[in-house]
Structure 1
Amino acid sequence: MADIDVSVIFTTLKLASVVTLWLLLIAIPLAWWLSQTKSKWKGVVGALSSLPLVLPPTVLGFYLLVALGPNGPLGQFFTPLGLDRLPFTFSGIAIACIVHSLPFVIQPLQNSFTAIGTRPLEVAATLRASPWNAFWYVAMPLAWPGVFAAAIMGFCHTLGEFGVVLMIGGNIPGKTRVVSVEIYNYVEALEYGKAHLLAGGMVVFSFMALLAIYALNYKHQARI
């Protein structure tokens, strides 16, 4: 580890943690709405939230770069909040990663909420539970394995993000340089030993995270 820039690992973990927190705050209510609504706008909202799955990261990164710029709609929105000049900043890559990782969090959540069915909520309604109480005390406890899986997927996807981060944040040491970009730098410099160290660490971490998800789902299914 002496030859590896530790600040890159710290920046990556900080980014993944911040993005995952915001993803859950945004995706939980959105996934709940998508799982329950019969609105004609459901397909449009679902398609928009899933768009990052099919767009090349460079395309998404380019339009986010334009949108987050000083004259872009998102840039003008965030400027009064003190977040001006978002491109090539940590806040800028965090916002970009939230957008890019959103479908990886929404889909597990939506599937978990849909799997609950209507029966538990109907029972809660007969006991005069408000929709808010039914959501927090019935739906969320039943869907918590999906919430855990969504958080892990969002965290791991952010850890490995490359294209969008490079487009929005560039390659600034201590600010926007993350592990995936650092691996690219090592490969470009033919320093394969360092690249193996970082890449291997990400492989092991991602495997363990996925293993935890499968183990949790297995235990949950066994209890059912």
Structure 2
Amino acid sequence: MIDLAPLWLTLKLAAVTTLILVLLGTPLAWALARSRSQWKPVAEALTALPLVLPPTVIGFYLLVFLSPSAPLGAAWRDATGQALTFSFAGLVVASCLYSLPFMVQPLQSAFESLGRAPLEAAASLRAGPWDAFFSVVLPLSARGYLTAVVLSFAHTIGEFGVVLMVGGNIPGRTKVISIAIYEQVETINYAQAHLWSAGMLAFAFVILLLVYTLNRRFPVHLG
């Protein structure tokens, strides 16, 4: 019988991570899109680091900074009584950092493509900054949000190196699909590995097909 626990844990991790990234990535992407600072390239480079750094490098430093001997890990342990490393909460922190550019970059591109005209039109109608953002910017950036949410969700599901370093392989707590595949290969259980891998392959294809299809059917019109 197939153990579906890794599947449900993976979906839970991807959903929680994507929700947090929407909340954190929106103001960050908006700030980068509107910024004219000379330090903007530095901020963009820092945001994009997970795209080029090996996952084991990110995982190693997260393991150090989230450990009970580090300030953040100690504060979490004092507040919850549990370690942040090798826990679901630790996986969420690691996944948010590792999938951050997949949320921020599509949103930043969507915000930059709007230009200033829609906001100026909203301001002429006496709309405040918050009102203009929610009633003008968000609807016009719907395609960017769709891409960002889908890619962030899918990327989180496919993580391996970071989650292995930070969470290990604890059934029911940190054992996600990518770790389950690795474990099956290690034990030469290729039939189970094929099953999980084929599911991941089909999922990745469907996700990308969905993104490209919706982007073609619902182009952004600013006129």
Report if TM-score (shorter chain) is over 0.5.
yes
Is there any run of 5+ residues in structure 2 with no aligned partner, and where?
Answer: none
Q: Which runs of structure 2 are paired with 1:202-221 in the superposition (5 Å)?
A: 202-221=200-219
Supply the AA of the counterpart residue of 1:105. Answer: M
Q: Which runs of structure 2 are paired with 1:13-28 in the superposition (5 Å)?
A: 13-28=11-26
Q: Which residue of 1 aligns with 2:100?
A: 102
Distance 1:80 1:114, change over 3 A: farther
User: Does the alignment pair 1:42 with 2:40?
Assistant: yes
Q: Which residue of 1 aligns with 2:76?
A: 78
Following superposition, the deviation at residue 223 of structure 1 comes to: 6.1
Contact 2:34 2:112 in 1 (8 A): yes
- Aligned to 1:152, which of 135, 141, 150? 150
Following superposition, the deviation at residue 81 of structure 1 comes to: 4.1
Alignment root-mean-square deviation, CA: 1.5
Following superposition, the deviation at residue 203 of structure 1 comes to: 1.1
User: Does the alignment pair 1:65 with 2:63?
Assistant: yes
Q: Which residue of 2 aligns with 1:172?
A: 170
Distance 1:137 1:223, change over 3 A: closer
In 1: Cα distance, 2:147 partner to 2:218 partner: 12
In 2: Cα distance, 1:104 partner to 1:77 partner: 29
The normalised TM-score by structure 2 is 0.94
Contact 1:35 1:110 in 2 (8 A): yes
Q: Which residue of 2 aligns with 1:116?
A: 114
Following superposition, the deviation at residue 84 of structure 1 comes to: 4.2
Regions of 4+ moved over 4 Å: none
Following superposition, the deviation at residue 77 of structure 1 comes to: 4.4
Classify the secondary structure of the residue corresponding to 2:141: helix
Contact 2:143 2:220 in 1 (8 A): no
Following superposition, the deviation at residue 206 of structure 1 comes to: 1.4
1:58-109, CA deviations, whole angstroms, 9 ceiling, x for partnerless residues?
A: 0100000000011223324434542741110111111101100001111111
Residues matched between the structures, number: 222
Contact 1:108 1:150 in 2 (8 A): yes
Is there any run of 5+ residues in structure 1 with no aligned partner, and where?
Answer: none
- Aligned to 2:3, which of 2, 5, 13? 5
Following superposition, the deviation at residue 48 of structure 1 comes to: 1.3
In 1: Cα distance, 2:54 partner to 2:81 partner: 26
- Comparing 69-78 with 198-207, which one deviates more in the overlay? 69-78
The normalised TM-score by structure 1 is 0.94
In 1: Cα distance, 2:78 partner to 2:184 partner: 39
Identity of aligned residues (%): 50
Supply the AA of the counterpart residue of 2:194. Answer: H
Distance 1:47 1:80, change over 3 A: farther
In 1: Cα distance, 2:66 partner to 2:98 partner: 14
Contact 1:70 1:84 in 2 (8 A): no
1:131-173, CA deviations, whole angstroms, 9 ceiling, x for partnerless residues?
A: 1111111010000111111111111001010000000001111
Contact 1:32 1:110 in 2 (8 A): yes
